[in-house]
Amino acid sequence: MRKNNPNSLVVAIDGPAGAGKSTIAKMVAAKLGLKYIDTGAMYRALTLKALTTGIDCDDAAGLMELLAQSKFEFPVANNVGSPAILLDGRDVSALIRLPEVSQKVSRVALVPEVRRELVRIQREQAAGGGIVMDGRDIGTVVLPEADVKIFLTASLEERARRRYIELQRKGLPATLEQIKKEIAERDKLDQERKDSPLQAASDAICIDTTGFSPEEIVTQIIHLCAERGER
Ligand code: CDP
């Protein structure tokens, strides 16, 4: 952060699937008037494109070709409901949350070439500061100099329950058991991969969101940001 300029604050939020990252990061960004980047949406958008064009999720060369032809845009989130990402000019917010994408995305995220290119775009977006970015490797790899680093967790049961309610609201069929299994598999792939695995940065503040409302967590993070801004 540039001295005494809260508008240039850089906030990194990481954590496993369903910990509440996107909801909370978006609310924090809106409250502080900062830009919001959902990096998971980038991995998901590329996965969606691979699925619709018939590119295998392990095919590094094919994925890189797709990436070279893809345009990501991040509309300024004026309200919590605005789309997190446009892929080739199209709002794909709903499509990237489909279970088919969730099942494949961590395979795409294993490919080092893909990670390198997406991290480059993420850093470009963060240049100049004034940003809240969420993902798996933001505090450790993408923005290690972030002013505030948060690692959000919640029990597997709670995370699966949240995702279940979310899918039910959207009218998408799924059972709680299926979701629990999918989330546990994705966490394992994310934690065990060699390239930028999911882990808390040594200087991250860990917050367990189990049993707390998003508003309560947002208030806690805003406090941390204010403290950092005063230093
Ligand atoms: O919303 P949810 O927590 O389920 O996941 P997401 O943030 O949309 O991320 C989807 C997947 O993308 C993760 O499970 C990771 O495999 C991958 N990802 C990543 O590897 N690095 C990031 N910075 C963000 C997401």
Question: Both tokens of residue 189?
Answer: 């792939």
Give the residue ranges of DSSP H helices in the chain. Answer: 21-32, 39-53, 60-68, 99-108, 112-126, 156-169, 176-192, 214-230
pLDDT digits (tens, 9 = 90+) for 130-141: 999 999 999 999
Which of 26, 36, 43, 138, when mutated, tests ligand 1's pocket best, judged by the most ligand atoms within 8 Å of its CB? 43
Which residue is closest in CA terms to ligand 1's atom 3? 17
Quickly state the pLDDT bin for 159 (edges 50, 70, 90).
very high
The closest of 157, 231, 181, 222 to 11, measured between CA atoms, is 222
The pLDDT of 177-204, averaged and rounded, is: 94
CA 16 to centroid of ligand 1, rounded, Å: 8
The domains located in the chain, with CATH, are 20-217 (3.40.50.300)
pLDDT recorded at residue 91? 93
Between helices 60-68 and 39-53, what is the axis angle to 10°? 110
Which of 44, 87, 136, when mutated, tests ligand 1's pocket best, judged by the most ligand atoms within 8 Å of its CB? 136
pLDDT recorded at residue 52? 96
Quickly state the pLDDT bin for 80 (edges 50, 70, 90).
low
CA 231 to centroid of ligand 1, rounded, Å: 32
Share of residues in the chain with pLDDT > 70 (%): 94
Please say if the pLDDT value at position 1 is more than 90.
no
39 C-beta closer than 6 A to ligand 1:
yes
Which residue is closest in CA terms to ligand 1's atom 25? 40
pLDDT digits (tens, 9 = 90+) for 57-72: 999 999 999 999 999 9
pTM over 0.95: no
